[in-house]
Amino acid sequence: MSEAIEALYPSLSAEYLSVEIPANMIFGQLASTVSFDLGRKLKVSPQKLAAQICGGIETENYSLLRDVEVAGGGYINFHANFADLSKVTVNSALALDAAYGYVKTDKPETVIVEHTSANPISPINIGQARNPILGDALARILAARGHTVFRHFYVDDVGRQTAVVAYGYKKLGEPPLKGKPDHYIGLIYTLTSCVIEINRLKHRIEQEKNSTSDTLEQLRRHLDEWTSIATELEKKHPKLFGQLLKKIAEDDDIEGLVSSLNLNYETGADSAVKKLVRDVCKLSLDGIKETLANIEVVFDSWDWESTFTWNSSVSKILERLKATGYVFEKGPVLEFDAEKVAAEFKLKQAFGLKEDYEIPSLTLLRADSTTLYTTRDIPYSLWKFEKAEKVINVIGMEQRLPQLQLKLALWALGHVNQAKGLIHFGHNLVTLPGYKMSSRRGRYITLDEVVAEAIRRARDEVEHRSPTMSEDQKHKISRIVGIGALKYALIEVDPIKPVVFTWDRVINFERNSAPYIQYSYARACSILRKGTKKLNEANYSLLVEPLEHDLVFALSRFPEVFVDVAENLKPSIVADFANGLADKFNRFYSLFPVIKAQPEPLSKARLAMVKAITVVLRNSLELIGIVAPEKM
């Protein structure tokens, strides 16, 4: 088409070229509105211009193009030569096999994907589970694209929360762990937080007892809430709760002790504190690693936040920031003027912000001399950029402002390329209908529990569908299906939208789910096991059914879809594509014979197409970390 337009209008640029896939295949496999866009510029009728362009396209020069036509008052529709398209597509899929669709970039980069980075104070819960699963999918996709990818976990071991759990662990006499380490440490954190919060509220109420303001009433309401939580926790864990309550009561200044732990750990000034907090974090991290390994999420590097406070990286960054002129004091607090940086460098439009939006300042240093997470993230980001050209932070959408402030801080420090290479891959949360999670209150459902339940439910389906399968096979398939179901449910929804987690949607063999796609793959593999014919005599011109054309066209588009997914970081599109292909295959399976199709060359062509379908379904699922089982 570009050659035809260039021949008609040599001075025009390629910006007017646009093609899309029609909603209905009867209008062709590709369509263009170029005649409308170009017609307005040239003041020529779209119908007339479309006819001129079509007349200039020599279809005989393009083996995959059957014809091109004018439709709808100026649309240009392109119809594929399906005999050749089928042959090229299916043979390519069979020849390339595990590599089919994975188009390599001509500009490979070294990329760090930092994801999960959960606080080492409790187990990963279902509300947080979307992060490791999305992060792992992004890493897989970018690696398939030809980039060198490193997966990093940032251990958030600095801050009040780790000080709280270390305080509780110490008060209990650093007890031996019972059960999975992250679960036990998480329980200690929950119980300690509850006792500390009740003590804090009682102290505040005593201070405000003569007040007539609403503050006293609010404090009393909060105390009632926490007392109720304490009653619930004590009922579940009477011995441990009683021990903590007794031991913490020995201390007069609980807040002061926790704050001292926090400050001493951040500065690294006290070796005993360093060992205590690190040991507690490592215990929890051991459990988190076990959880992630169970769902086949791996990391190349575990980066400790404390490293950057202990080696003076954070203090050096603070000094550098002070010298930029974008830092000011707000009483005893040190602030970074993010708005001033954005305004002076005219960055709002580049960062997708409205000009009238005023970016809040970033608190760099608290009054107690402790730093905030984003402050510590500045030297960590620079450290990552010493190892990579691009850094992708997979972190919740609620962190949009801190991630923006981080970019602006890098810009203010003169690290412009790093600021441009830092990508915030934001995602929304996972919610359970009628259930509000809180680690601090001990109200959460762990990822371990959800994985176990997913496998159990998958086992029920496997028992129902394949009762004669061996016990070992049932166990293996149940794990593959259960974990795949969980991953798919957290990936297939666009990241900016929340996931409402319900089991009837997750474990579903009849529609949009991993088990549905896996079952479709296993069904296709079953056909191939029964079809022993050699495929070298397949006659692809016999694939004439519209549904066959739909399948071939979908298979041919997989490389294009993959490039879009990799370039625009859209793992949900992979899930949608795999589901759409499974839908088409299942309709085909219900309507047309494959092995018994006549004549023989048609049977071979259909068998070859089915084999190509297995290649694309497997390769699609591999990109999002889901195994495609050959039997179910």
Looking at residue 280, its pLDDT comes to 98
CA atoms of 390 and 112, how far apart (whole Å): 6
For range 60-70, the mean pLDDT: 84
State the pLDDT confidence band at 320, using cuts at 50, 70 and 90: very high
- Region 279-293 average pLDDT: 98
Average pLDDT of the residues of the chain = 93
CA distance to 6, 216, 317, 320, 413, per residue, from 323 (Å): 56, 44, 10, 5, 9
% of the chain exceeding 70 in pLDDT: 97
Domains in the chain and their CATH numbers?
A: 2-80 (3.30.1360.70), 160-280 (no CATH), 464-623 (1.10.730.10)
- In sequence order, what are the beta bridge partners of 110? 148
Asked if 520 contacts 585 with a C-beta cutoff of 8 angstroms, the reply is yes
- Are the C-beta atoms of residues 494 and 502 closer than 8 Å to each other? no
Q: How far apart are CA 374 and CA 449, in angstroms?
A: 32
Whole-number pLDDT of residue 506 = 81
Q: How far apart are alpha carbons 420 and 203 in whole angstroms?
A: 48
384 vs 390: CA distance, rounded Å: 9
* pLDDT (tens digit per residue) in 241-284: 999 999 999 999 999 999 999 999 999 999 999 999 999 999 99
User: Region 464-473: what's the mean pLDDT?
Assistant: 92
Of 538, 534, 551, 558, the C-alpha closest to 618 is: 558
Name the band, by pLDDT with cuts 50, 70 and 90, for residue 440.
low
455-489 burial code (b ≥16 CB/10 A, e <16):
bebbbebbeeeeeebeeeebebbbbbbbbbbbbbb
Split at pLDDT 50, 70, 90, the class of 44 is confident
Percent of the chain with pLDDT over 90: 78
- The mean pLDDT of 542-568, rounded to a whole number, is 97
**Half-sphere CA count of 192, side-chain side, radius 13 A:** 26
What's the N-to-C CA distance of the chain in angstroms?
A: 47
Identify whether the C-beta of residue 92 lies closer than 8 Å to the C-beta of residue 100.
yes
Angle value at C-alpha 303, between 297 and 309, nearest 5 degrees: 155
Show Cβ contacts of residue 591 under 8 Å, excluding neighbours closer than 6 positions.
Answer: 547
Instruction: Give the pLDDT confidence score for residue 56 in this predicted structure.
Output: 83
Q: Phi and psi at residue 320, in whole multiples of 5°?
A: -65, -40
Among the listed residues 469, 393, 474, the one whose alpha carbon sits nearest the alpha carbon of residue 114 = 393
CB 39 within 8 A of CB 46: yes
pLDDT band at 214 (very low <50, low <70, confident <90, very high): confident
Separation of alpha carbons 117 and 157, rounded Å:
10
pLDDT given for residue 168 in this prediction? 98
Q: Please list, in sequence order, all residues whose beta carbon lies within 8 angstroms of the beta carbon of residue 259, skipping any fewer than 6 positions away.
A: 160, 163, 368
* Residue 1's pLDDT band (cuts 50, 70, 90): low
- Quick one: CA dihedral 179, 181, 184, 186, positive or negative? negative
| Highest mean pLDDT pick, 12-21, 25-34, 334-343 | 334-343
| Banded model confidence at residue 97, pLDDT cuts 50, 70, 90 | very high
Q: How far apart are CA 298 and CA 286, in angstroms?
A: 13
409 vs 311, 317, 334, 336, 424, CA distance in Å?
A: 20, 10, 14, 8, 15
The mean per-residue pLDDT over the stretch 362-375 comes to 95
pLDDT at 448 over 70: yes
Residue 117: how many other CB atoms lie within 10 Å: 21
Whether residue 14 is predicted with pLDDT greater than 60 in this model: the reply is: no
pLDDT beyond 60 at 627: yes
The pLDDT value recorded for residue 23 is 79
Instruction: Give 439's pLDDT tier (boundaries 50, 70, 90).
Output: low
Give pLDDT, residue 115: 98
Cis peptide leading into 599, omega within 30 of 0? yes
Let me know: does 32 contact 75? Beta carbons within 8 Å: yes
Decide if pLDDT at 177 tops 80. Answer: yes
Q: Residue 446: its pLDDT value, please?
A: 93
Count of CB atoms situated within 10 Å of the CB of 513: 24
Which pairing describes strands 390-396 and 75-80: parallel, antiparallel, or unpaired?
A: unpaired
Give the highest mean pLDDT range of 56-70, 386-400, 501-515, 521-535: 386-400
- The pLDDT of 79-101, averaged and rounded, is 95
More confident: 436 or 588: 588
Burial of 76-114, coded b for 16+ CB within 10 Å and e otherwise, reads bbbbbbbbbbbbbbbebbbeeeeebbbbeeeeeeebbbb
Q: Is the pLDDT of residue 224 over 60?
A: yes
Rounded average pLDDT over 133-159: 98
Nearest-Å Rg of the Cα atoms of the chain is 30
Mean local confidence (pLDDT), 388-410: 97
